[in-house]
């Protein structure tokens, strides 16, 4: 491993990610540690004849790798969404939202990403990530093709639907759809059977 120092740097970077995952350091600690490492590096530049200067330089590189790993996981945590409601399924809810993205039409449904603005005449706080995937299903009385042709990105739409928390990992090794959506910034699902 001495011939390939990048392996050690990557391992320390991964160690920083693990430390951040385990201890969840606040940003103040991460910034303070970064500033101290930066100041220590500046001091080393002005002191030319240190006894173990090479050892200190290598140690600083590894410490910076750990800090970068921790900071990268901290920043990634901002994008992660969470389901904002207490119950996993809410039936027959009046929903108002703005269309962010529209998927291609499928045979029996139209899917789109919606920023929720109001649920049952209650404004949603900006503290929550309010992006949901909405699935408009075809029933005997509606046409998803007509709905797909009329809807545009940026439109505000109001409808009655069912808000659902995405399925998590129920069995070991099973795909965790909830975690997948949350990492993409989507808080949950809404199913609509009547447009």
Q: How far apart are CA 120 and CA 183, in angstroms?
A: 27
Domain stops at, among 79, 106, 137: 79
Q: Which of 67-81, 101-115, 129-143 has the highest mean pLDDT?
A: 101-115
Q: Same structural domain for residues 19 and 62? A: yes
Q: How confident is the model at residue 195 (pLDDT cuts 50, 70, 90)?
A: low
pLDDT tens, position by position, 6-31: 999 999 999 999 998 888 888 899 99
Does the pLDDT value for residue 179 go beyond 70?
A: yes
Instruction: Tell me the percentage of the chain whose pLDDT exceeds 70.
Output: 93
Same domain, 125 and 179: yes
> Does residue 84 fall inside a structural domain?
no
Q: What is the pLDDT of residues 150-173, one digit of tens each?
A: 999 999 999 999 999 998 888 888
Closest CA to 182 of 91, 83, 114, 88: 83
Q: In a 10 Å sphere around its CB, with 0-12 CB exposed, 13-18 middle and 19+ buried, how is residue 189 labelled?
A: buried
CB atoms within 10 A of CB 41: 15
Shared domain for 73 and 13, answered yes or no, is yes
Q: What is the pLDDT of residue 169?
A: 80
The CA-based dihedral angle spanning residues 148, 151, 153, 157, taken in that order and rounded to the nearest 10 degrees: -130
Chosen domain end from 47, 79, 111? 79
The whole domain housing 20 covers 5-79
Q: Whole-angstrom Cα distance, residue 87 to residue 122? A: 16
Question: What is the mean pLDDT of the segment spanning 39-51?
Answer: 78
Domain count, the chain: 2
Residue 33 has pLDDT above 90, yes or no: yes
Pairwise CA distance, residues 116 & 93, whole Å: 12
- Whole-angstrom distance, CA of residue 113 vs CA of residue 154: 11
Whether residue 145 has pLDDT greater than 70: yes
Strands (DSSP E) contained in 27-169 are 89-102, 109-119, 122-123, 131-137, 156-164
- For residues 133 and 172, state if they share a domain: yes
- pLDDT given at position 188: 93
Beta bridge partners of 136: 110, 192
Beta bridge partners of residue 98, listed in sequence order: 115, 156
Residue pLDDT, tens place only, 61-105 = 999 999 999 999 888 877 678 888 889 999 999 999 999 999 999
pLDDT for 142 equals 67
Task: Please report the pLDDT score of residue 114 as a whole number.
Answer: 94
Backbone angles phi, psi at 186, to 5 degrees: -110, 130
Dist. CA 181–CA 90, nearest whole Å? 19
d(CA 165, CA 85) in angstroms, rounded, equals 9
Of 53, 79, 105, which closes a domain? 79
Could you tell me which residue, 125 or 57, shows the higher pLDDT?
A: 57
Q: How confident is the model at residue 130 (pLDDT cuts 50, 70, 90)?
A: confident
Note if the pTM is more than 0.85: no
């Amino acid at each position: 491993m001495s011939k390939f120092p990048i392996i050690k740097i990557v391992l320390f970077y991964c160690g920083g990610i693990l430390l951040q995952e385990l201890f969840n350091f606040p940003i103040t600690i991460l910034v303070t540690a970064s500033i101290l490492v930066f100041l220590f590096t500046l001091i080393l530049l002005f002191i030319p004849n240190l006894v173990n200067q090479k050892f200190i330089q290598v140690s600083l590189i590894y410490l910076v790798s750990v800090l970068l790993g921790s900071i990268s996981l901290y920043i990634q945590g901002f994008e992660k969404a969470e389901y904002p409601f207490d119950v996993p399924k809410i039936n027959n809810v009046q929903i108002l939202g703005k269309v962010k993205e529209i998927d291609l039409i499928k045979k029996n449904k139209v899917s789109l990403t919606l920023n929720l603005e109001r649920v049952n005449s209650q404004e949603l706080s900006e503290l929550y990530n309010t992006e949901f995937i909405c699935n408009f299903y075809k029933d005997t009385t509606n046409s998803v093709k007509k709905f797909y042709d009329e809807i545009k990105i940026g439109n505000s739409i109001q409808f009655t639907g069912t808000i659902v928390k995405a399925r998590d990992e129920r069995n070991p090794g099973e795909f965790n759809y909830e975690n997948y959506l949350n990492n993409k910034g989507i808080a949950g699902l809404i199913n609509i059977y009547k447009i």
